[in-house]
Structures are given as C-alpha cells and as structure tokens.
Amino acid sequence: MARITAGVATSHVPAIGRAIDTDQTQADYWKPMFDGFEFSRKWEESEKPDVVFLVYNDHATAFSLDFIPTFAIGVAEDYAVADEGFGPRPVPAVEGHADLAWHIASSVIQQDFDLTVVNKMDVDHGLTVPLSLMFGQPEKWPCKVIPFAVNVVQYPVPSGRRCYNLGKAIRKAIDSFSEDLNVQIWGTGGMSHQLQGPRAGLINQPWDKAFLSDMVDNVARLVSIPPEDYIREAGSEGIELVMWLIMRGALDDQVTELHRHYHVPASNTAIGHLILKNGNNS
C-alpha cells in the first residue's frame, strides 16, 4: 500500500529560484538561507520518495482572476514549467503520477471535499522552487509529483481548519492506494510577508517561530486561526501558511521533527522550513 512517510514545509519565494538559476546561492545575501537546506537535500537522497504530493498556490499562470478554484488537483502525466514573464525556469519538466492523482481525486471528493480536476496545467515557481530547494539541480526530478493548487490569492480563501481536514482526507486516500509507494506531502508558501500597501515588507518573527513550533505539537491552535489573523499578524501573503496545514493534516498526530530552518529576509519574505517524519515510520 502507498504510505506517507514524511511532510515538508517550505517557502517558495520566486527570487530563490532566480538565485539558483543564476548561481548566486553562495553570495553573501543568499548563503545563510541556502545553508539551511543542505540537510534537506542530503535527507532526500536517502529517503528516495516515489511521489511528492505538493501543495502550492498558482500565481496567475495556470489560472487567472477569471477562474480561481479553491482546491485543484493535477491529474496529468506531465506538467510544463510556466513562463512567468521572463521565460520558463531552466529546470526539468514535472512528471505526474496520474493513477494516484485520480485515485486521490475520487476518494477526496467522495469524502465531501469539492476538488477541481485539472488535466493540463503549467506549474510556476510555487511548485518548482520547493523542488529545487529539496532536490538541487538535477537533469530530471528524482520522483513524480502531484500538483495541488490552493486559492490563497482571491478572497474568500479556505480556512486553516478546512485545509487541515482536507489533509486528513488526502491521507485516507493515499493509504488506500494499492501500489507500494513512498509518498511525501509538502506544504509550501509563507512565512510572514506583505508585498504591497503601507505595510509592504512586514515580517513578524515571533509569530513565524511560534507557528513553526506549533506545527510539531500544537496544531490545534493553528487550525483555529481565522484568515483575518493571518493578514494582521503575518501580512497579506502570510495566508499562504494555511497550505502547510494540509500537509500537517495528512500526517500522524504525533510526528518527529527532523529539521527546522528559519531565515530573514529573502526578498522581503521570512523563510521557514520543516521536515516532519510520521510517527509510525522508523
């Protein structure tokens, strides 16, 4: 049977991709941020996941303001890298796992979560930057990926509790898939940042660090945070953190924290990163 062995949380700042693509990772500005992912890349080399279920938000590439699904699952065999205005990132195309994706879609919809099923979509920095942070710069990504896009751009957005419970439904779906697969689930985005308005540049380190800690052993507090509190405390783009709760909902109640990294700033954003191993995996 398929099994979720670990969850990963990471920011997905587009400038990180630019730094990687232009060989700036060892520059003074960027080195401390990238140093925090050295453990993660080595860990992935030993873990060798078959599939990553990657939760992210689209940035007006697959969807526009004309059509914004709250939750959308990619069920294609492959996904092209999106052109976000400066040409596609020089990274490999993404190979999907259509069989597992369709199984998850069917199971989760039958658990009363309404998903938009997407047969063709390009994937942007929200998905490719986490892959680069965790896997480096391979000629081909070492595993298959199921993209799962969440609307955190156009209000109303889903609540943290809704996202957490969706994670539980995704876990049930993956556990019932018959093929023997090592699956990881990643929640991306955040941490605190605001890109516009009078509070542009906002970073709230105490709030971020409490969120990181509570992801491990006090998720009940996090699922109760209303969207308005994310905006007030973590900035307008801090709402992306609800995507981490999908990841956390798909894990066991008890998890083991393998790695934590926090760095500010990176392109006016607080960078957060966690690796959580499921409690039932040695």
Query: What tokens appear for 95 in the block?
Result: 């190979």
CATH hierarchy code of domain 3-80+89-196+214-254: 3.40.830.10
Q: One of 97, 125, 261, 273 is an active-site residue; which one?
A: 125
Q: What is the pLDDT of residues 105-140, one digit of tens each?
A: 999 999 999 999 999 999 999 999 999 999 999 999
272 within 8 A of 211, measured Cβ to Cβ = yes
- Provide the pLDDT confidence category of residue 65 given band limits of 50, 70 and 90: confident
Taking phi over 0 as left and psi of -120 to 50 as alpha, with beta for the rest, 159 belongs to beta
273 is catalytic: no
- Provide the pLDDT confidence category of residue 280 given band limits of 50, 70 and 90: low
- Please give the residue that has the higher pLDDT: either 31 or 265: 31
Would you state the pLDDT for residue 282? Answer: 42
59 is catalytic: no
Residue 27 CB: number of other CB atoms within 10 A?
11
Asked if residue 100 has pLDDT above 60, the reply is yes
Residue-range domain boundaries for the chain? 3-80+89-196+214-254
Asked if residue 281 has pLDDT above 60, the reply is no
Q: What is the pLDDT of residues 172-230, one digit of tens each?
A: 999 999 999 999 999 999 999 999 899 999 999 999 999 999 999 999 999 999 999 99
Q: One of 12, 97, 103, 193 is an active-site residue; which one?
A: 193
